[in-house]
Structure 1
Amino acid sequence: MAESLTGVQRAAVVLLSLGEQQAAEVLKHMSAKEVQKLGLAMTSVSGVSRDDVARVIDQFVETLSQPSGLGPGADEYVRAVLVQALGEERANSLIDRILQGRNTSGLDTLKWMEPRAIADLVRNEHPQIIAIVMAHLDSDQAAEVLKCLPERVRADVLLRIATLDGIPPNALNELNDVMARQFAGAQNLKSSSVGGVRVAANILNFMDSGQDEAILGAIGEIDGELGVRIRDLMFVFDNLAEVDDRAMQAILREVPNDRLAIALRGADPKVREKITSNMSQRAAQILVEDMEARGPVRLAEVEAAQKEILGIVRRMADGGAIQLAAKAEAFV
């Protein structure tokens, strides 16, 4: 049993073996996304015997007792590993966030705030500052913040995110001043590469139907070519037809059948074929029967179900459970 546990599950076992206070102290040193993954693993780990817990703890202690040998070259090692794993283009922004973003704890603090609170914090700032703030957030959180901003500034902010090409130190210093009004302390910030067309496309993926098209339309009026580039990188429901079979099977294990039956109303036939071909014959038959039994469904309900499924796909991609390729690269 212990050998079959993933790394996150092993970490969850270790934390569950600690007292509440000690586990809380460990979690304080992790990012919001890491806490979320560990919390999910802690609630899902069950049926682990006392012997398996002991083995996990022994392995943990053994790992700690081994000299790490890490020195000044660790940054270069991380960079090399990420480039090899993701490719140079896709790894660049992640490398900058990891290696340069270590000095921007004020921005990391935002990830713990409610979207409405972040929107209130930056509402009266220049759109460029809002864009820099949102470019540092996860795409789903940034989308929620964008929804809370006045409609008249949404397209301007997203356009600025799409055209960000590195942030000079003076801009980050100005951003730090904004953060200082909410959080105590100041720090010297380095230049960082965030934003870009992919980030803008990912944020739009999480916007409600209608809002995304309104923002894209406004951007297209200002810069038609940029609008097309953003649209081309957006992962929409029809792009599920391009997902490989293994990823699709993993997705179907996470998606509730009732939501799938609604989402497939009016979907591209290629998407239906991709989904049903990765089901058992019996499961596909039940899905079709469910769709037929429901009768007419409102378009808004169909779009909501599709957005929900895309949210599941995004979380799986972010967590490394699946990989999306080709046009969907921006999504991961």
Structure 2
Amino acid sequence: MMAAVGEPPELKKFSGMQRAAALMLSLGHEQGGPIWDQLTTEEIKELSSTISQLGRVPAVVVEYLLVQFSGEVSSMSTLHGSYETTERLLEGIMPTDKVKEIMEDIRGPSGRTMWDKLSNVSEAVLAGYLKNEYPQTVAVILHKLRPDHAARVLSELPREFATDVVMRMLRMDTVQKDVLVQVEQTLKSEFMTNLSRAQRRDPHETMAEMFNALDRSTEEAMLEALDDKAPESAERIRALMFTFEDLANLLPGAIQTIVRNCNKRELALALKGSPEDMKKVFFNAMTERAAKLMRDDMAAMGPVRARECEEAQTALVRLAKSLGDRGEIMLVDPKSDDAMIY
């Protein structure tokens, strides 16, 4: 058994990550292998990067780390791996924000990410699944969703069933953690898994999103090239793309939300390069004074490059799609005149 070693002064020069790197380097492949197997890909990359830049580590530091490690292990009758012990371990070797990111990822259904994903599922699809569940289970799930999304799901459920769910929500106390975990596990294993299988994305949708992010000239050049080689694909991509002109189809409240959240110089640039009817859509969403100030700003700009206007228009489209993804506005789905996406 190794003798106790006091903390060497040289240890202060090494960060938590560097200490972990030195320990793993000293353990080598055979002893350290089982530990490496428990790390995520990102953790392995970060730890490996630290090892590669570690340089010389004094023997006294290595000895201290090994003695400390072996002492902690030998003093335990058993090891208990859990989210909490994992989080404490990671906090000792990496920044807090990184620990939070990793824990949210590995917690899976018990983390915030699961409910974020569920909040992005359309109310019709979610209600179609929930109407076959116990009302108490549905009450727990709706309790965890954003109020606006929960309301839309509730309106899609059969009236008598929805009333039962509401009554249970009214009588609901704090949901026990083990019940919540069980519900989340079921959602992940049954609903989300089946949903992902059923919603294999059309590659044209992915390409349409990518083309939306291109500058106008590159976008047009790519689509023209596709017109020659795959005209049907080019036509489908065009139909799926959400463009600046599509913003004119949004409800006035959605336009107001975009105006509140956008960069005002970008808005002025975008409108300067747009037709008059498009300008009216945005000016009608502003106060009379704000609209006048915006017109004055546009006039004061003088001549601007068409490319700058196109880039500003693309930025507004991205903002609109981001607000739509967060459920703050409704976007008209370009694939259908009637359908709405949230």
TM-score of the aligned structures, taking structure 1 as reference length: 0.47
Radius of gyration: which is bigger?
2
